[in-house]
Structure 1
Amino acid sequence: MKNILLIFIGGGAGSLMRYFLSRFINSLSTSHFPFGTFVVNVAGCFLIGFIIFYTERYGERADTWRLLLATGLCGGFTTFSTFSLESSELISEQHILVFLLYTAGSILLGLLATYLGLLAGRAA
């Protein structure tokens, strides 16, 4: 039951963070490009990489922190389901170049950010 509660609390916090950060970023742009989701996904990829390596130093407590922060917080914070929906909408609205930039940028920068997060977590 403790594990479920940790994931629940982390997921709720991550979802709220995603909502407010994405809304704020999107309010700064008039472009069709979904900058809010893009920034949140890249930041979430970095964060999960950092958390996985940083928590290794906690030994037996690492699983607790990973459930709260990686599974819960990052799971609620990252938005690849929203990414998929927005990509489909860009295609439907015939914004093909924006769709291609958004998709390629999300995947490539997400992978790079995860790798950098892993390196940062090792170094911390």
Structure 2
Amino acid sequence: MIGVALAVALGGAVGSVLRFLSASWVAAQWPRHFYLGTFTVNIIGCLLIGLLSGLFLLRSDLPIELRSGLIIGLLGGFTTFSSFSLELFKLFENGRTYEALAYLLCSVLGGVAAVWAGISLARLYQ
């Protein structure tokens, strides 16, 4: 159990730093659209969680430390649903209703589509 907890902690640290770097880079490129950094990491994270989940279904022999470290730790630290919720609230609060609705729809539908794509990619290896 300690090994799994350490793998999750290490993965979470790496994922959080990757989220910070990715979101900062995107925000620097498009400052008015501050939410695009979170959107980008959420879509990438959803794709990766789908892909890894699909691959781990095929390879249940892989160590639980590896699977937990990547799914719970790395991708849990990388994706940012709570940040997404706060940014969505701010868009609505600032009267940017159409932009907020587009962000909501694209994030949710894009995330589900990315998970589907990741699992579909993993199934190609069956």
Q: Return the TM-score normalized by structure 1.
A: 0.93
Change (3 A) 1:2 1:69: same
How does 1:1-124 map onto structure 2 within 5 Å? 1-32=2-33, 34-124=35-125
Q: Which runs of 4+ in 1 moved over 4 A?
A: none
Q: Is the Cα–Cα contact under 8 Å of residues 27 and 33 in structure 2 kept in the other structure?
A: no
Q: Which moved more, 1:25-34 or 1:65-74?
A: 25-34
CA RMSD of aligned residues (A): 1.4
Percent of counterpart pairs with the same letter?
Answer: 34
Query: 1:61 aligns to what SS in structure 2?
Result: coil
User: What 5-or-longer segments of structure 1 have no aligned partner?
Assistant: none
Q: Is the Cα–Cα contact under 8 Å of residues 33 and 102 in structure 1 kept in the other structure?
A: no
Deviation, 1:33, is 5.5
Deviation, 1:66, is 1.8
Q: Return the TM-score normalized by structure 2.
A: 0.92
Question: Partners in 2 of 1:113 and 1:72 — Cα distance?
Answer: 19
Question: Partners in 2 of 1:83 and 1:63 — Cα distance?
Answer: 29
Q: Is the Cα–Cα contact under 8 Å of residues 55 and 65 in structure 1 kept in the other structure?
A: no
Query: 1:94 aligns to what SS in structure 2?
Result: coil
Deviation, 1:59, is 2.9
Question: Partners in 2 of 1:64 and 1:58 — Cα distance?
Answer: 14
Alpha-carbon displacement from aligned partner over 1:67-108 (angstroms, at most 9, x marks no partner): 011111110000000000001111111110110010000000
Question: Partners in 2 of 1:66 and 1:24 — Cα distance?
Answer: 28
